[in-house]
Amino acid sequence: MATIETRSDNRHNNSEELEQEERRSISSVEDVQNVEPSNVVTSDGGSVSVKGAKLICPTGAVDDPVTIKLKLEEPYSYCGLIVHNGLENDVIFGAPIINCQPNGQMFKKHVTLTVALDNEIKKSIGALLVLHGTPTNDGKIFWEDITHNSQFDLEKEELQVEINQFSLIAVLLRLTWVQAKEIVTRFNLVSFKYTLSVLFKSNHQHSPFDELALVFMSQDSYQEPLYREHEDSALMQLKRDGFEELGSKVEQESGYIYNEENLTVSIQLGEDYKLVNNQQERVVTVESPVWWSTGHVIRVSLQSSSADAKILCGRVAVHGQHGHVLEDYFSQSDLCGYVRRLLGVEKVICNLTPVAQKLGLHEETLNQVVACWQSEAKQLEIILLRWRESQGNTEDPDMLRNAFEGLEPEGINYGDNIKTMYVDKGSIYESEGSTQQRLFISS
């Protein structure tokens, strides 16, 4: 699956080339390996400096004396972080990695870290990204975007960032328009939310089976038309292939998902369709680069019933390893057409009174329907709207089918002898026979 991206002319084909580029990008900072200056800071404050970086602790940042170290590490030792997440053409390191020690040290007040920028980097201030990396118990690093806490000084050729906890500080230079949130998410441990889209394709002319497609895309990417409507996005590809997007409603959602997390996705369908292979559950592994660009797709084949009146509806449930839960109910939106097919009336329902009464609607609803006598479609929409409200806003067509059980087409269609009402000078009249005005019949 293609990834939506704008590539720089300076392409990196492998980690070896990236390492060489990282070495060149920080050529103004020499001999950074194993440089570990230290100093003791007290409740009165203190500072520690190394070529290219300086840390200042204000008064009251700590209660007891703490030995502070600043260790500069070569960026190429972290190049795997970029390569393994598919970002080798999107970002490079703009300065040595600053390892502030002791790791995990907390401060009562923010401390200020100043990092020198070389002449080339400072020309691209708007493309700089500052990340705060915290080592975790399993040996990985939790990265957080702290660019908003950073200040760039062009005259002094430096940046200042405020932190309240020690860890790793990385300065990245973006080579493309890739979003900061996408970079951080691809750095493995940052959680994110996603949007689920449900699409349907009827293949009855070419295949005995219809198709259902689920598209998973990060919420931030979905909300950006540049991503969602890009020609390479999964949504656009499916729509070009004849899929239509179904209406859906999220009933339950909690927690976030993570890169490389396994999600269990289950699909339950209404009475009119069933899964061809009867595989209701499948496991999906989250690939952040895909979810943040084109979107991940699940396609399944459906077998429809032989009934003339059928509608696709169902529920998608997603459960993650780390507590994430999502329940999404979907349905084809043409309930009015479904009702016509269900009742065996192809075009017009001439008498909507039995329909409203069969659904147990109140007299107030009948009056609202009478007020819309000029449009049978509008009348039916009102009836179905009020019925859904009385059922807790359900879209379940199975409940609608059961509600109409026993209602015969003869009771709602008078054929040639249509009993109608018409309005003349503010009064409503009934008449029988052929007429140009087909109105709701109040009985």
Dihedral Cα 20, 21, 22, 28, nearest 10 deg: 100
Q: What is the pLDDT of residues 330-354, one digit of tens each?
A: 887 656 666 666 666 655 555 666 7
Q: Which residue has the higher pLDDT, 201 or 434?
A: 201
pLDDT tens readout for residues 27-46: 333 444 445 688 899 999 99
CB 435 within 8 A of CB 418: yes
The encoded tokens of residue 442 equal: 């109040």
Q: Are 387 and 403 in contact (CB under 8 A)?
A: yes
Cα separation, 348 vs 353, in Å, equals 14
- Write down the pLDDT at residue 182: 67
Nearest by Cα to 219 from 245, 185, 178: 185
Structure-model confidence comparison of residues 114 and 412, the more confident one: 114
Where residue 232 falls among pLDDT bands split at 50, 70, 90?
confident
Lowest-confidence pick of 97-111, 226-240, 326-340, 385-399:
385-399
Q: Model-level pTM?
A: 0.47
Decide if pLDDT at 376 tops 80: no
Q: Is 319's pLDDT higher than 90?
A: yes
Tens of pLDDT, residue by residue over 131-176, are 888 776 556 677 778 888 888 887 788 889 998 888 889 888 877 7
Q: To the nearest whole percent, how much of the chain has pLDDT over 90?
A: 20
Residue located via tokens 């204000």: 58
pLDDT at residue 68 greater than cutoff 60: yes
Among 194-198, 251-255, 408-412, the range scoring the smallest mean pLDDT is 408-412
- pLDDT of the residue at 125: 57
| 404: pLDDT strictly greater than 60 | yes
Q: 3-class DSSP state for residue 354?
A: helix
Give Cα separations from 355 to 124, 346, 392 (angstroms).
Answer: 67, 15, 19
Mean pLDDT of the chain: 74
Q: What is the pLDDT of residue 430?
A: 44
pLDDT for the residue numbered 414: 42
DSSP SS3 for 115 = strand
**Cα distance between the two ends of the chain:** 60
